[in-house]
Structure 1
Amino acid sequence: MRSLPLLTAITLTSIAAAQVPASVTGIPTVTDGDTLVIRGVKVRLHGIDAPESSQQCLRAGQSYGCGREAAFALADLVRNKTVTCTRKDTDRYGRMVGVCTVGGTEINRWLVTQGWALPYLEYGGGVYSVAAAQAKSAGKGVYAGTFQNPWDYRKNPANPATAGTPRPATPAPAPASNVSYRNCSEVRAAGAAPIRRGQPGYSSKLDRDGDGVGCE
């Protein structure tokens, strides 16, 4: 016999799916690098994950808003154009998870090809692995420098809030304030790399180029 919490979760998921249309067409607005809103329907692009709106990356040794640049790239692609999104799923936040096209171009794949999104392998992104490898080889988008995977960025409660995918309902606990690392090997082993100025465990000895980001 199924437990009551499981039945409740299944029921809520079914209701959410029933409220999300099979497809939607219109001129979109952009929430972040992998999220659109069309006629009031929020669409999370299936199989990809773009840097979060508040996320910073490194390029030529300088920090820049890679989340904003990903969103700008998407906005430039769809500006004043009709976009069609077809639902593949409905996520736990009640959003359509879909594949979208504009003028014959699949938006999901285009973002990966340009280096502004990564394949979200946990959610069907394997179809974009070749496109990602090509973007990495060409040094496009985030591959022009160093970056943290968006899904890892969201797990850290110390990072600023984002306009896109919410953090997990039960975020990982913040590291203890007395954390100390002897070297970058220890930072990486703890899953804390890269470590930024102001985060627990950061020290100048881990940040050789003094750019505020250690163990890149």
Structure 2
Amino acid sequence: MRALMLLLLLSTAAAQVPATVTGVPTVTDGDTLQIRGVKVRLHGIDAPESSQTCTRAGKVYGCGREAAFALADLVRNKTVTCTRKDTDRYSRMVGVCTVGGTEVNRWLVQQGWALPYLQYGGGIYSSAASVAKEAKKGLYAGTFQNPWDYRRNPSSPATAGTPRPATAPSSVPAGADVYYANCTAARAAGAAPIRVGQPGYRPALDRDKDGIACE
């Protein structure tokens, strides 16, 4: 019964989200926009949260803010069109957005301000992430925590973007829901090498069985 009610709620939410929305947006964080009252979570990517910090040249900086500023600079006073790919559990449109001839989702990954969200169709952005990593753009200019890991940590400050998920039962190992199909995908997401106990580690990726995958 509970599963049926949840399905009905999700179906209702999806019906209320338009197939497309066009307008001048406001920016919530590095992967979330709002256009004419419609919240849009950019499909296939995950940017650092608004409260998240990273390191660069040995110094801590607000990478979440910088990602949001990069997105804001791209779309400022411009008309953006977003096409729905899905509706998430927070009743937001999950979409691919364009401004002029630029796809916003891909641009953020190319600039190093977002990672491919492999769990949710982000594999199409893996090559863009490889280019950003090679050029040490954005997050790749230093060290950072994957946004999905940051949200999972109950000690992380509140964020303006995707809400923190409910704490997983202790019987579920941290990162169990992070899956890399192969080492190429792990490297593209900036996760390699992956040690035992870290998100995304699988014995199948650890060919020499030394506890470190995708070396």
Q: Same fold (TM over 0.5)?
A: yes
1:159 is matched with: 156
Q: Are residue 60 (structure 1) and residue 54 (structure 2) matched? A: no
2:101 corresponding residue in structure 1: 104
Question: Paired residue for 2:68?
Answer: 71
Quote the Cα distance in structure 2 between the aligned partners of 1:147 and 1:168.
Answer: 20
Pairing of 1:179-194 with structure 2 (within 5 A): 191=198
Q: Which residue of 1 aligns with 2:12?
A: 15
AA aligned to 1:169 is: A
Pair 1:69–1:171, CA change in 2 (3 A): farther
| Partner Cα separation in structure 2 for residue 74 and residue 115 of structure 1 | 12
RMSD over aligned CA atoms reads 1.4
Amino acid at match of 1:54: S
> What residue in structure 2 maps to residue 49 of structure 1?
46
Q: Within 5 Å, give how 1:63-212 maps onto structure 2.
A: 63-170=60-167, 191=198
Given that 1:58 and 1:147 are in contact with CA atoms closer than 8 Å, whether structure 2 keeps it comes out as yes
Query: Displacement, 1:5?
Result: 1.0
Q: Structure 2: give runs of 5+ residues left out of the alignment.
A: 171-194, 200-215
Moved more, 164-173 or 129-138: 164-173
Partner of 1:85, secondary structure, is strand
| 2:152 and 2:167 in contact (8 A); partners too | no
C-alpha contact (below 8 Å) 1:43/1:97 kept by paired residues: yes
Q: Which has the larger radius of gyration?
A: 1
Distance 1:172 1:61 in 2: 35
Q: Residues 146 and 86 from structure 1, CA distance in 2 versus in 1: closer, same or farther, beyond 3 angstroms? A: same
Q: How many residues get paired?
A: 175
Output one character per residue of 1:73-112: Cα deviation in whole Å (capped at 9) or x when no partner.
0000000000000000000000000000000100000000
Per the TM alignment, residue 170 of structure 1 is displaced from its structure 2 partner at its CA by 3.3
Deviation for aligned residue 1:169? 2.7
Percent identity of the aligned residues?
Answer: 79
Q: Which residue is equivalent to 1:201?
A: none
Give 4+ residue runs of structure 1 displaced > 3 Å after superposition.
Answer: 170-173, 188-192
Find the aligned partners of 1:18 and 1:76 in 2 and give their Cα distance. 32
Look up the match of 1:29.
26
